[in-house]
Structure 1
Amino acid sequence: MDQKIAHLGKITGKTLLFGGVYSNLQAVEALKQIAEKEHIAPENCICTGDIVGYCAQPEETVQLFKLWGAKSIVGNVEIQLRENADDCGCDFREGSRCDGFSLLWYPFAQSKLSESSLDFLKTLPNNINFKYADKEVSVVHGSYFNVSEFIFKSTDWAIKKPNFEATNSDVIIAGHCGLPFHHQEENKLWLNPGVIGMPANDGSPDVWYAILEDSNDLFNFTHHTLKYNYKLTSKLMQNGLLPEEYSRTIVTGIWDNTEILPPFESGLQGFGIQL
């Protein structure tokens, strides 16, 4: 597979994991403050991609991310933007509500990004590999095989398992689906820290990230919620160019639709995250 892979070697100490910044400047500002409070160095902050997305400040978000110095792989959105493609590449069903919304937010983001930001996106690898405690870890967006593949907790292990084999990993850290979860089988761990740019369809405006810790050289992880100035984010999105439904989701924590979700995850809408 022709993919650009960043090999980070062995990482030690607290490590911050997150994804789906989605042009949400207020969320990335809040998360950067968490990293600084927890004394997590920028090189130990790792994003699963989609720095750009649904919200109103794509240029400001990329520039802050670049200034922060956190690591990231490409999401499908970065791939499409740097190739000047016509759509976001999210693999939404044609004609679906999400597909219709992408016809608004993707051209908006495309129109706002500077050459400097696009050049930065071109530097991002497809995957990141590193060793943490006693585990070999790989960071992917959707899956190793398909950047736009939606993989959830309920997704069968038989679909997840080939990713570990292809990357020779004990742990896969992934993004794209928008929901935090972990799934352990056969001494392997699939860990999705969630996204910080949009709520997790749980009825709360708070968003999600995860932290790795290697105390006693053991691999430990915890899921966390992030509070940020979501009211400002929502207000900025009400610009007549972006989907109003997404600005409402920022406040309500409820997705406009569940068309990308399997039945199990769809049934949990508004009932909180099951971890």
Structure 2
Amino acid sequence: MDQKIADLGKISGKTLLFGGVYSNLQALEALKQIAEKENISPENCFCTGDIVGYCAQPEETVQLFKLWGAKSIVGNVEIQLRENAEDCGCDFREGSRCDGFSQLWYPYAQSKLSENSLDFLKTLPNNIRFEYAKQQVTVVHGSYFNVSEFIFKSTDWAIKQPNFEATNSDVIVAGHCGLPFYQQEKEQLWLNPGVIGMPANNGTPSVWYAILDDSKENFNFTHYTLDYNYKLTSKLMQNGLLPEEYSRTIITGIWDNTEILPPIESGLQGFGIQL
């Protein structure tokens, strides 16, 4: 496949994984503070893409991300924005509520981003690869084969498996679906750290990230929740240009709909995250 892959070689020390910033400046500020508190260098901070999205401050968010120096791959939103495409490329079903909402937030984001921010998005690779605690890790957005593919914990392993083979990886770090999870089959691990821009449909406004730790010379990971100034995020979204439903989700932690979710994940709405 013709993809731009950043191969970073061997890295070590605590490593921060997160995704889906979604133009949520307040969440990104809070996560950056976590990284600094944990003494995690920007070079060891990895985003699974979609820095830009549903919330009210796309330009400020990209500029802070750039200033921080964390690393990211492209999500479908970055690809569409830098190609000046007409839609977000999220692979929502045409005519669905998510599709309708995207016709509000995507042009809003387009209208707010500077040339400087777009130029930054054009530098992002499709994938990042590195070795960590003797494990080969590849960071993807949806999947290696399709940036917009929704892959959940309940997704059959037979769909996940080819990603390991194509990338020669032991660990796939993925984003896009909006829910944190992990699944291990024999020696292979699929790890989604979650997203920080929107809650995980579990009834709380907290968002999710993960930290890798090799201090015991093994590949260890832990999911964490992140608290931030979600009330300000929601208030800024109530600008008459963005979907009010998403500003409510920021507060309630419940998605407006479960159109993209498989039955198992849909049934867990409001019941907390099963890790």
CA shift digits 1:89-131 (9 cap, x unpaired): 0000000000000000000000000000000000000000000
Hey, what's the Cα distance between the residues in 2 that align with 1:22 and 1:14?
24
The residue number in structure 2 matching 1:239 is 239
State how 1:133-172 maps to structure 2 within 5 Å.
Answer: 133-172=133-172
State how 1:62-141 maps to structure 2 within 5 Å.
Answer: 62-141=62-141
Runs of 4+ that moved beyond 4 A: none
The residue number in structure 1 matching 2:209 is 209
1:186, distance to aligned residue in structure 2 (A): 2.2
CA shift digits 1:225-246 (9 cap, x unpaired): 0000000000000000000000
SS at match of 1:236: helix
TM-score by length of structure 2 reads 1.00
State how 1:50-69 maps to structure 2 within 5 Å.
Answer: 50-69=50-69
5+ long unaligned stretches in structure 2: none
CA shift digits 1:171-220 (9 cap, x unpaired): 00000000000000021000000000000000000000000000232000
TM-score by length of structure 1 reads 1.00
**Aligned Cα RMSD in Å?**
0.3
Hey, what's the Cα distance between the residues in 1 that align with 2:246 and 2:8?
35
State how 1:179-198 maps to structure 2 within 5 Å.
Answer: 179-198=179-198
The residue number in structure 2 matching 1:253 is 253
1:167, distance to aligned residue in structure 2 (A): 0.1
Work out the percentage of aligned pairs sharing the same amino acid: 88
SS at match of 2:216: helix
The residue number in structure 1 matching 2:222 is 222
Q: Does 1:40 align with 2:40?
A: yes
Q: Does 1:16 align with 2:39?
A: no
Range moving further from structure 2, 24-33 or 210-219: 210-219
1:134, distance to aligned residue in structure 2 (A): 1.3
1:7, distance to aligned residue in structure 2 (A): 0.5
5+ long unaligned stretches in structure 1: none
Hey, what's the Cα distance between the residues in 2 that align with 1:45 and 1:226?
15
1:62, distance to aligned residue in structure 2 (A): 0.1
Residue type matched to 1:224 in 2?
A: Y
CA shift digits 1:65-105 (9 cap, x unpaired): 00000000000000000000000000000000000000000
SS at match of 1:274: coil
CA shift digits 1:19-45 (9 cap, x unpaired): 000000000000000000000000000
